[in-house]
Amino acid sequence: MIRSLKEMKGYKLLAEGDQFGKIKDIYFDSDEWTVRYLVVETGSWLNSRQVLVPPQILGLPDWNNQVFPTSLTKQQIKDSPPVDTDRPVSRQYETDLYSYWGWTPYWVRTGAMAPMPPGPTPGYEPEETAYGRRTAGADTGVATQREGDPDLRSLDEVTGYGISAVDDDIGHAEDFLVDDESWDLRYLVVDTRNFLPGRKVIVSTQWITGIDWPDSRVSVDLTADDIKNSPEYDPKAPINRDYEERLYTHYGRPRYWNY
């Protein structure tokens, strides 16, 4: 089912039968248009600690109770490498994270994600990775020492970005809609209230031609009239195939579900 990313903020994890932590933000890959991590705050406001949790370790969310079930323990999540959300997520941090859990990193996988074990690698030490012990300035291979992945972005960061059609500016980014099984980002929600008061529409992430981070702007391969006249999006109504058929017919684009 296709769901709102923004709606997931504030959801908790269900670990050992208890609700635990809180989702503060969501990181997605703007090249492959998929969710990479949920930012989970595990501490209180007096002892705040944030960790990244890949969505593949979670079960389907309980939308009524606003929780994500998991077979992990609270201690396993607490002990995972903490992240500084004020800095870019480096490949070095991601390597530590995947080593902690004993998973094959997504950037070196060639096929589907292998089944994930229910806990961290026995005997794991933070300074040790699957690529060997690192020292300052050591060359650990392509991209492992990059400051940050330029395609890894935060939902909080992109929300509010302006939308540029091929011929005009129209509205701003309001939300993303995600397939809650594959974690693929299907649609960008565009709020056009500056042009069409109170009206929201969606565009496929495949129609996004670029994101200008310094100028806080998303460009789409559509005209302003295309967007203005597209089927209206109602956040309270589910995205079903009938709605998607009308949307793709309006834009004259090939259907993703046919591939």
Summarised one tens digit per residue, pLDDT across range 146-160 is 455 678 889 999 999
Is-above-0.85 flag for pTM?
no
Most distant CA pair in the chain, distance: 59
Give SS3 for 82: strand
Domain boundaries, the chain: 2-153, 159-258
Checking if the pLDDT of 242 tops 90, the result is yes
Tell me, what's the pLDDT at 137? 29
Would you state the structure tokens that stand for residue 104, as one six-digit string?
């094959």
Would you state the structure tokens that stand for residue 82, as one six-digit string?
């903490």
Checking if the pLDDT of 113 tops 70, the result is no
Other Cβ atoms less than 10 A from the Cβ of 61: the count is 20
Stated as kind and residue range, the H or E segment containing 225 is: helix 224-228
Tell me, what's the pLDDT at 61? 86
**More confident call, 253 vs 47:** 253
Rounded distance, CA 140 to CA 143, Å?
8
Q: Are 192 and 136 in contact (CB under 8 A)?
A: no
Checking if the pLDDT of 138 tops 50, the result is no
Q: In what order do the strands lie in the sheet with 12-15?
A: 18-20, 12-15, 67-69
The correct CATH number of 159-258 out of 3.10.620.30, 3.10.129.10, 1.10.15.40, 3.90.50.10 is 3.90.50.10
CA distances (Å), origin 255, targets 235, 241, 250: 22, 10, 12
Question: Which CATH architecture best describes the domain 2-153?
Answer: Roll (2.30)
Tell me, what's the pLDDT at 149? 67
Rounded distance, CA 59 to CA 199, Å?
33
Q: Are 29 and 37 in contact (CB under 8 A)?
A: no
Query: For a pLDDT cut of 90, what percent of the chain falls above it?
Result: 48
**pLDDT (tens digit per residue) in 185-212:** 999 999 987 666 668 999 999 999 999 9
